A and B are shown apart, each in its own frame.
Chain A
Amino acid sequence: MTTILPVRRRTRRRPALWALLLPFVVMFLLFFVAPIVYAIVQSTLATRSSGLGFGPPETTFVLLDNYVRALTDPAFVASLGRLLAFSGILVPLMVVTALGLALLLDTGRARAPRFFRVLAFAPYGVPGVIATLLWGFLYIPATSPVLQVLSAVGIDVVPLASGTVLFAIANIALWGFAGYNMVILLAALDAIPGELREAARMDGASMWSITWHIKLPLVRPSVILVTVFTIIGTLQLFVEPLVLQPLTTAISSTYTPNLAAYNQAFSQGNPNLAAAMAVIVAVLGFAFSFGFLRLVNRKGNRAW
Chain B
Amino acid sequence: MSDVAERVKKIVIEHLGVEPEKVVEGANFIEDLGADSLDTVELVMAFEEEFGVEIPDDAAETIVTVGDAVKFLSKSA
Q: Tell me if chain B binds chain A.
A: no
